[in-house]
Structure 1
Amino acid sequence: MTCLTFFRRCRPLQFHVTILTFKACDSYDWNDTMFMTIAAESDNQDPNRTSTLTKSISVQFEVKMLLTVKSDSTTYLNFTSEEPAPKEVTITYRIYNTGFKDFPVNVTLFFPTKLEHNFEMKSYEVVMKQNKTKCTASTDQKSKDCPLENKCVAMVCNTFDLEKHSAAEFTLSGKVHFRDLDQKAANLPFLKKYKGDSGKVTFMSAIKVQYDKDRYVLESHTQKNKGGSTESQFPMRKTEVRVDFIILPNKLLIISTGVGVGLLLLIIITVILFKLGCFKRKKFGEEEEENLQDSSAEIPFPALTKSDQTSEDNQNQEEASHLLSSTPTNGQIGQSETDNKSDQPCEENASE
């Protein structure tokens, strides 16, 4: 309330400003505006004249809310070339009204359906746990409304009242997978088939809560621009899900390559050993003859002179002739024996 005091003649005009504070009942159904009338009186005022001022004031309520992501939401998924089937992703956002007043809100969820590496999300839906509203995909959302870098889908939910000291939960669910992952594994370069391949994408989603800025004020989201003006921003929360894919090495190719290289080495080693004579078989007695040859080769005899050789030959001839003279032939031996036998009875008769 402003009190004006006037003085006569040339005395300065003085203003006395009084700040009026009062408490408002939160249960009262306030209109969008309220009117306040200020009346001023003075002792020297004309009694037939009234000094009043009526001012229109906008009525706004302070609201408080907290946006969180539940801990049981999906944060990581992985796919392999052996298990490329789609998997379920579930993200639950929680909106909690910590203020003292109910207020209507509009909830919108943003998320991409296609990313790099042929990542795709299908059969998606947004469901509110309390069943106070329904959410549908909207095609009227402009690209600037999407807070994500990639093109995204906007799921717009119907307006509903967020009750004081209560929470509302929105669950985003859908099937995600890497399209044609098995074909990508088959079309890998030859060398990459031995060590495999891998990659990752980041699936990001966001939730935005909108309300009537003229009726409600969220002080925690009021920011000052560089020019000094204030701009109320709608609360928003983002979350990420890391999705990896792994192409496993080709086991059949590794095994077949190992077997082929092993056989090739075995053939090479066999040929080398054959060239070195490791596979030649020896007959019975050849080993002893080779040993004798080796021993005779190790002990050399001294060389004979011509005179020694001549004397040795003469000696051998003498020994041979001696043996021939001393040894009778078979015919001579048989005749002498018969003569001796025939002479024996004659000698016996003579003695008689």
Structure 2
Amino acid sequence: MTLTTRPPRPPATEAPDSSPALGQTDPHQRPARAGLTERFATLLAPVTGRDLGPLARRRRRTGWVAFIALAGPNIALLLMFVYRPLLQSLYLSTLQWNLGSSVARFVGLGNYVEWFTAPSTRQVLTTTGIFTVATVGGALVLGLGLALLLNRPLPGRDIARTVAFAPYVLSGLAVGILWLFIFDPRYGLLSVVLGWFSVASPQWYTDPPWPLVMIVVVYLWKNLGYVTLIYLAGMQAIPQDLRDAAALDGASPARTLRSIVLPLLAPTTFFLLVTMILSSLQSFDIIQGMTKGGPVGSTTTLMYQIYQEGFVNGRAGYASAGATVLFLLLLAVTGLQMRFVERKVHYA
């Protein structure tokens, strides 16, 4: 038997690595990367301030033209009808000036000192606080309950939603005058209904605190549809899978509401809390249509006092001081809500 040996194999040589070395770029990909880098640099040119040539300057001019065309009218309207009157009100609050008078005297902080030391200020602030807490709290609770009801598959649900929202679009002055006939102690509809249960109708117009209660009821009736609509939108954004999973786990409807629905409605509640407080503090039309701040100032809120002092008594400087206090109050309430309340809001 003859043994044969194979010749030794030459050492294997590694194929040349086609990948670029560290720090080098592939010449085949260089144009694409260069184009991408140039595109990003062009987009960031308004921020970095780099001059990238005629194309970048043209895009920058186009962006500024689009910004001015779209945002310019809104900014101009805000400056004209919001910030200009605000600054003018701040200036008028330092003057002793009556409407129609050609003479104004600079008094500095005199109007503010008079406002804070006036005997009626405490009553006005108390009435404003009670009205705000009652209307905001009542609207959130009743609106949530009505939204839960209208979110169920009930017959005539769409019609009920329309009817619930309709009062919100009505004029507050017209709503107030209409409800005066309902609250009439002798001939009103509410007096007739209370008579069925042998209950005498309160003197809604003259005996405190019934005038303030009457104002709160009408305000809730008018704005309840808005709160219900916003809560309905928030509920319909909640995935149905979460409720189905809770039902499979044996959770009761009350537990599902407490553990799933209400936490997921936290952003909606926060939005409503901010908007309703601002709206309540600026409420005027219903008070003007029903009580005109009476009797004996029992329904005079801070907003209505500003109207009375400025347009009824003609004390424009004193009214501007009250308006500045209201502005600072709104700013402080909104800031506190953004600072503390929003911490407990979880956004999906």
TM-score, structure 1 normalization: 0.22
* Structure of higher RCO (CA pairs closer than 8 Å, 6+ residues apart): 2
Query: If each structure's strand is expressed as a fraction of its own residues, which one has the higher value?
Result: 1
Please give the TM-score of this superposition, normalised by the length of structure 2: 0.22
Which is higher, the Rg of structure 1 or of structure 2?
1
Higher helix share: 2
